[in-house]
Structure 1
Amino acid sequence: MKIRCIFLHRQQYKCFIFSLSLLVVCLLKLVHIKVTVKNSFFIEPYGVTANVYRVQHQKYDINCSAIYQMDPVEVGKSLEIRRKDIVDLDDDNIVSLTSDCPGYMQSRGFASLPLSNAEHLLGSRVKWKYVINLCGQDFPLKSNYELVAELRKLQGANMLESSRPSELKKQRFKFQHMLKDMPYEYQKLPVRTTRAKAPPPHDIKIFIGSAYFVLSREFVSYVDGNPLVKDFLAWSVDTYSPDEHFWATLVRMPGAPGAIQQSQPDITDLMSRTRLVKWNYLEGSLYPPCTGKHMRSVCIYGAAELRWLLNYGHWFANKVDPKVDPVLIKCLEEKILEKQRLLVKSSSR
């Protein structure tokens, strides 16, 4: 009798564990929580370049011109679509960037990737004039016709952020940083040590900005193989975020094609028209509030910001995400194609 009771208790315990596991799986499915594969990165789809997203957007019965005019009915419809019909992603979007992601991060290879890619483009058969470095959640705000016209206006100059660092930001490159595992993060993050760094090589004056830029072919040719640039890159490897000061500093380098003089005022993200980013702590003062959602203090735009985005004057918007607001992406593409057709038609007369 005693042995039988023990057996029954074991069976009940196994059933309980199985039921609990099943409940957890169902809950994860219900709230769409995805577990990141170890040593992998989540790759965001770029706008509507994939046919699956193009088909998905075409089904929405939305008047983008009415949204542009801030019609409350159409804006309300876009919010309802966002609530009910958010685009989900398959597990195929979880991919390994390299065969050894931890080793790649440990080497801080991301700091030199834009430099390597830009230099590689010099060997292209296409005689390009400018290289534009963007992130996966940027989206054009100008038609191709308009963008070419804007690039011609630069007349060989470069377009990117370049500002003097605050005392707080200086800590990012005055001390050595090491990559360490952090709670609730899928990859290692740079952590400041107590070891002070040597001054930058060649008495380089540090400026800060962004990893994203518009650079002329002449500028890229100038930095290609430049020993000063190589020394500066090697010095930057153990700083907090090398890509946030590397290009902003090089563009101030005396003698560089299209260089910004070091005595010139700061060039902020709103002054550099490359990318329009909305920070939550500046909303209400520098720009209207975000109508989408925030990720790490940055707004992921909503459809109600369509008019503001297209009229501000920048070339690309950061960030857009089909999982946050697919209607905005549909309407941005529609309005840009509309402008392109009108400009081509008027130029052919």
Structure 2
Amino acid sequence: MSRLCTARPGLLLCAVVCVSALLYFRQPAREGPGAEPPSPAVVECGFYPDELCSALFEGRGAASQVAKFCRNPLGSEILERLYAPGNCSQISQGLRFISRPLSAEEGNFSLAYIVTVHEELAMFVQLLRAIYVPQNVYCIHIDERAPKKCKSAVQTLVSCFENVFIASEREKGAHPGFVRLQADLSCMEDLIRSQFQWSYVINLCEQDFPIKTNKEIIHYIRSKWNGRNITPGAIQTAKPEPTTSPSRPESAPEGSVRASPNQRFQEEPPYNLTIYFGSAYYVLTRAFVQFVLTDTRAKDMLRWSKALQSPECHYWVTLNHVEDAPGATPNAGWEGNDVRATKWRGKEGDAHDGCAGRSDRDSCVYGPADLPRLVRSPSLFASKFESSAEPLVLACLERWHRRRVLQQAEVPVEPHWHFPRQTHFRVH
């Protein structure tokens, strides 16, 4: 937890700045160009105040300016708890993990998650505690190239939960490519062998975050996709347009990704399969996962995919169009593409209003000004976030998400499930 303003020479200045900043955030939003006053340049956040987060959710321009001066005390707290000696009760309660199913409906519908981790330990913990409930099961794939200290800390955390485990087979560099595909398949094998009877599997990476609760995710699956897989995509066309990005098609809807330049395949696809391209992310039924791991066509498709530039963007969507595959949607196109909110570069003014954070390759790292759009989005998850670049975005979103989770709970809420309410600032 961050400190109050303790430096005696700066105590008076700190008090003045704190009061003026809090009074500003509680005022109604001003209208008209240039109406926002400049933010106090000397202010740095302590434990992120609810007033500042609320101002960001309301789209206050000056709040985004204040946010630039914020560090990430949440990240520091997470690292301290995982690196310091302690028992599992201290770790799980100190990190505010949900410890019971929050409703009978959720307790009777278990999800499986595959989460890939590279080196952002604090972000991974924030993601895991946001999606964690004891009736779900979680396979964590840690990049073999991750720092030893990071891998050790993940192991410490995972050992405290019987429904969270590290993948038995780990790949090096589990980024887009065949290693990413193999990492997911390794986790799927572990999940099928586990004692947990889950219904659907969802894959995420450490830079993702949920913007719907576990209950809302279940409602979405049951109401729109009951018994079917979600793998949006389209038929791989013969030739790309000259302006097409190497990682996604310009004509595809927001959130889609492109598998590879559409050069002619060196070898014909096995079984004369029609090759599709689409998202590397999915929501798959347990029966479909068993099909992928055992069916001869799926195995031959995997071997054939090794030669492709981004096989993870071909593999799932192609197999989902095999008519006799469990949960297949042979006639689906980009349906289900709204599962993940992503701002793609080049889609400004069409699918979104521009990147308020910073561009990273083909997509946007969300900034504070993106928060109003995120909390109104119909998507289940959003990508992507960086705690080092924009720490306040994920901190505010996590607090908003936890409040929403607890508001929907149908069981008594444990005190340690709440994030502490702090409303102070301090001078840097």
Give the TM-score normalised by the residue count of structure 2. 0.55
User: Is structure 2 residue 345 aligned with structure 1 residue 267?
Assistant: no
Aligned residue for 2:316, secondary structure, equals helix
Q: 1:238 to 1:306 in 2, by over 3 A?
A: same
**CA-CA distance at 1:87 after TM superposition:** 7.6
User: Do the aligned partners of 2:232 and 2:279 also contact (CA within 8 Å) in 1?
Assistant: yes
Deviation at 1:66, TM superposition (A): 2.1
Q: 1:205 to 1:347 in 2, by over 3 A?
A: farther
Cα distance change on mapping 1:326 and 1:102 into 2, 3 Å: closer
> 1:58: how far off?
6.3
Could you tell me how far 1:195 is from its partner in structure 2?
9.3
Q: Which amino acid aligns with 2:311?
A: P
How far 1:158 moved relative to its partner? Answer: 1.4
Distance 2:391 2:368 in 1: 8
Runs (5+) with no aligned partner, structure 2: 1-43, 80-117, 121-141, 147-169, 242-258, 414-428
3-state SS, counterpart of residue 167 of structure 1: coil
SS at match of 1:97: coil
User: Which residue of 15, 29, 48 corresponds with 1:60?
Assistant: 48
Shift of 1:191: 10
Moved more, 72-81 or 315-324: 72-81
SS at match of 1:215: strand
In structure 1, C-alpha distance between the alignment counterparts of 2:269 and 2:324, rounded to whole Å: 18
Residue number in structure 1 paired with 2:107: none
Q: Is 1:336 the counterpart of 2:401 in the alignment? A: yes
Q: Which has the larger radius of gyration?
A: 1
Alpha-carbon distance change, 331 to 98 in structure 1, aligned in 2, over 3 angstroms:
closer
Are 1:166 and 2:237 an aligned pair?
A: yes
- Are residues 75 and 57 of structure 1, via their aligned partners in 2, closer, same or farther at CA, if it must alter by over 3 Å? closer
CA distance 1:236–1:338, change in 2 (3 Å): same
* Superposed CA offset, 1:227-259 (max 9, x none): 110011111101111111001101111111221
1:253 matched to 2:318: no
Counterpart in the other structure of 2:272: 203
Question: Hey, what's the Cα distance between the residues in 1 that align with 2:45 and 2:229?
Answer: 35
Q: 1:171-220 CA deviation, whole Å, 9 max, x = no partner? A: xxxxxxxxxxxxxxxxxxx999x995121010100010122111011211
Question: Once the two structures are aligned, what percentage of the paired residues are identical?
Answer: 30
Residue in structure 2 matched with residue 72 of structure 1 by the alignment: 61
Match of 1:285 among 333, 350, 358: 350
* Larger displacement relative to structure 2 (71-80 or 297-306): 71-80
After superposition, the Cα gap between the structure-2 partners of 1:318 and 1:157, relative to the gap in structure 1 and judged at 3 Å, is same
Q: Name stretches of at least 5 consecutive residues in structure 1 with no aligned partner.
A: 1-55, 171-189
1:297, distance to aligned residue in structure 2 (A): 1.9
Name the counterpart of 2:216: 146
Q: How does 1:175-194 map to 2 (within 5 A)?
A: none
Which 10-residue stretch deviates more, 57-66 or 292-301?
Answer: 57-66
CA apart distance, 1:311: 1.4
2:201 is the counterpart of 1:213? no
Kindly tell me: are residues 169 and 119 of structure 1, through their superposed partners in 2, closer, same or farther at Cα, counting changes over 3 Å? Answer: farther
Contact 1:137 1:318 in 2 (8 A): yes
Cα offset, 1:132, TM superposition: 0.6
**Over residues 297-319 of structure 1, what are the superposed CA-to-partner deviations in whole Å (9 max), with x where a residue is unaligned?**
21000111112112121111110
The structure-2 alpha-carbon separation of the partners of 1:86 and 1:325, relative to structure 1 and needing over 3 Å to count, comes to farther
How far off its partner does 1:157 sit?
A: 1.3
| Equivalent in the alignment of 1:236 | 305
CA distance in 1, matches of 2:340, 2:54: 23
Question: Following the alignment from structure 2 to structure 1, what is the Cα–Cα distance between the partners of residues 344 and 264?
Answer: 32
Residue 38 of structure 1 aligns with which residue?
Answer: none
Task: Specify the alignment match of 1:311 in structure 2.
Answer: 376
Closer, same or farther in 2 for the Cα pair 1:236/1:344, shift >3 Å? Answer: same
What secondary structure, in the 3-state scheme, does the structure 1 residue paired with 2:70 have? helix
Residues 104 and 121 (structure 1 numbering): CA distance in 2 closer, same or farther, change over 3 Å? closer
Deviations 1:265-289 (A, max 9, x none): 5216xx4233211111001111111
Counterpart AA for 2:380? W
1:345 is displaced (CA, Å) by 5.2
Give the conservation status (yes or no) of the 8 Å contact 1:62–1:77.
Answer: no
Q: Is the 8 A contact 1:139 1:318 kept in 2?
A: yes
Distance 2:217 2:376 in 1: 14
Deviations 1:97-155 (A, max 9, x none): 169988999x9443322123213211111111111111221111112222222232221
Alpha-carbon distance in structure 1 between the residues aligned to 2:368 and 2:49? 14
State which of 284, 294, 297 in structure 1 corresponds to 2:359: 294
| Inter-partner Cα distance in structure 2 for 1:137 and 1:323 | 11
- Once residues 316 and 241 of structure 1 are traced to their aligned partners in structure 2, the CA distance between those partners, rounded to angstroms, is 22
